[in-house]
């Protein structure tokens, strides 16, 4: 049970830390101010700022690029587009990097390590064929394009993935797609060119073989971005979360990933490492929030004392430290289980972190917001967006309740319970 990063990872972690501190931290506040100004009328917040491209070029030049690339699946891509040294990192090795990038809104994008592109690239690596990789994975690793993952639907309880109703019917050498998705993250970005869409192909098959994953280029006729959804009022420009309708959309059967009816197992395989990434980023986000809370709490004075010394604030600092540290260890443990036993041996562990990390982060950020007063709710600090991020992750990739159900099922299974 060794969570220490390898020497190569340790070196990368330090380089990422330095890059964030020297290249991203100094410009991040200005970035958000500019986006806010655009929102207030000074421009189009959905057009990416040039700053992003500049920073990506710098990061790439330093080999801090595609670090998420999963070990064992990287093939020729690690050398072509990937990490220093040319091989993928284990989940345990990548986890501290994800934590660092989670401290910043921009960092994941700068290093080409942002959801949902990472998960989509992983799907193409693990389940795509060479043609699909050449057409879509290559430009994604090269950051020429971006992608979206279209799974959740407005009309059904999507926490049960077998509920999905969008149809993806095979007709001859085409797949015909009809239906509606929402919370498709990233569709607001002008570079978002390819969607991975989960659709119902065979309603009569068993529950876990009814759905198919299909690659749908954004410009296919019948695809329409209906609107961009706010999350607690926040749009996350220029990426956004969209509602997308598909009306008689036709793509070749060659666009099916892995095979008809394979969507469920692809979704499962996609989500293990992705959840580790999300959770480690939340650890970083919570650390950032705690830092802001301590700094604000020590510098602001109320009733003759630093705010941090009023009421139960110091106890909340202590509880935050305990919660962050124990959750980080839990996530590292899940990463290590994924690395050593594979996803099927880490089902409970991955569900555990998916419950623990967003709830922990939400709690720590709430404290930081409270100590910032009204500022904590505004966009002068990254706290409102951070809270919204953590809150959304109590639903995204499966709501808390579904994961608790999975953990309980596995626990009770030890005693012979069937379900």
Determine the Cα angle at 144 with ends 140 and 148, to 5°.
50
The terminus-to-terminus CA distance of the chain in angstroms comes to 30
Extract the tokens encoding 29: 């506040």
Among 307, 335, 364, 365, binds a copy of itself (CB under 8 A): 307
- The Cα–Cα gap between 390 and 323 comes to 15
Among the listed ranges 17-25, 108-116, 122-130, 300-308, the one in contact with a copy of itself (CB under 8 A) is 300-308
Separation between Cα atoms, residue 157 and residue 395, nearest integer Å: 11
| Residue 6 binding a copy of itself, by CB under 8 A | no
**Which region among 50-58, 129-137, 281-289, 373-381 touches a copy of itself (by CB under 8 A)?**
373-381
Kind and range of the H or E run holding 222: none
Report how far residue 168's alpha carbon sits from residue 177's, in angstroms, rounded to the nearest whole number.
5
CB of 4 to a copy of itself, least distance (A): 4
Restricted to residues 311-370, the positions that interact with a copy of itself (CB under 8 A) are: 311-319, 321-322, 325-327, 329-330, 332-333, 348-349, 351-352, 355-356, 369-370
Choose which of 6, 47, 247, 378 interacts with a copy of itself (CB under 8 A).
Answer: 378
Question: Rule CB under 8 A: is residue 146 a binding residue for a copy of itself?
Answer: no
C-beta of 178 vs 370, nearer to a copy of itself: 370
Return the number of the residue (92 or 201) whose C-beta is nearest a copy of itself. 92
H-run or E-run covering 39: none
User: Which residues face 8 on adjacent strands?
Assistant: none
Q: Write the DSSP string, 253-276.
A: GGGBSS-TT-HHHHHHHHHHHHHH
d(CA 197, CA 183): 12
Q: Which of 62, 159, 220, 268 binds a copy of itself (CB under 8 A)?
A: 159
Q: What minimum distance in Å lies between the beta carbon of 287 and a copy of itself?
A: 11
57, 157, 205, 254: residue in contact with a copy of itself (rule CB under 8 A): 157
Residue 389 touches a copy of itself, criterion: CB under 8 A: no
Cα distance between residue 338 and residue 354, in whole Å: 14
Q: Pick from 52, 158, 165, 169 the residue near a copy of itself by CB under 8 A.
A: 158
Residue 318 is encoded by which pair of tokens? 């202590």
Rounded least distance, CB 47 to a copy of itself, Å: 14
| 399 contributes a contact to a copy of itself by CB under 8 A | yes
């Amino acid at each position: 049970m060794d969570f220490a990063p390898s020497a190569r990872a340790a070196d990368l972690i330090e380089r990422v830390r330095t890059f964030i501190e020297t290249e991203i931290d100094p410009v991040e506040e200005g970035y958000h101010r500019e986006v806010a100004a655009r929102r207030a009328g000074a421009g189009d917040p959905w057009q990416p700022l040039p700053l992003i491209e500049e920073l990506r070029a710098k990061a790439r030049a330093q080999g801090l690029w595609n670090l998420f690339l999963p070990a064992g699946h990287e093939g020729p891509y690690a050398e072509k587009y990937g990490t220093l040294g040319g091989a993928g990192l284990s989940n345990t090795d990548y986890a501290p990097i994800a934590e660092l990038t989670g401290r910043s809104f921009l960092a994941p994008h700068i290093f080409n390590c942002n959801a949902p592109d990472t998960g989509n690239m992983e799907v193409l690596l693990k389940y795509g064929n060479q043609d699909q990789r050449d057409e879509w994975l290559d430009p994604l690793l090269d950051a020429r394009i971006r992608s979206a993952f279209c799974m959740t639907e407005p009309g059904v309880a999507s926490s049960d993935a077998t509920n999905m109703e969008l149809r993806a019917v095979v007709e001859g050498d085409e797949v015909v797609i009809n239906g509606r998705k929402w919370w498709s993250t990233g569709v607001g970005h002008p570079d978002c060119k390819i969607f991975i869409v989960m659709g119902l192909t065979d309603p009569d098959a068993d529950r876990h073989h009814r759905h198919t994953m299909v690659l749908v280029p954004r410009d296919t006729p019948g695809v329409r971005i209906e609107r961009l959804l706010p999350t607690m009022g926040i749009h996350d420009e220029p990426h956004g979360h969209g509602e997308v309708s598909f009306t008689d959309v036709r793509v070749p059967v060659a666009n099916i990933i892995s095979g008809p009816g394979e969507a469920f197992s692809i979704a499962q395989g996609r989500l293990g490492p992705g959840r580790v990434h999300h959770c480690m980023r939340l650890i970083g986000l919570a650390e950032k929030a705690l830092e802001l809370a301590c700094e604000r709490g020590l510098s602001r004075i109320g009733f003759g004392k630093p705010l941090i010394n009023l009421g139960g604030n110091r106890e909340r600092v202590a509880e935050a430290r305990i919660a962050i540290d124990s959750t980080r260890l839990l996530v590292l443990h899940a990463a290590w289980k994924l690395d050593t036993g594979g996803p099927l041996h880490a089902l409970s562990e991955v569900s555990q972190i998916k419950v623990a990390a967003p709830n922990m982060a939400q709690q720590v950020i709430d404290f930081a917001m409270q100590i910032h007063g009204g500022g904590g709710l505004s966009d002068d600090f990254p706290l409102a967006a951070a809270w919204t991020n953590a809150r959304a992750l109590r639903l995204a990739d499966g709501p808390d309740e579904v994961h608790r159900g999975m953990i309980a099922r596995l626990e009770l299974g030890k005693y012979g319970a069937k379900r």
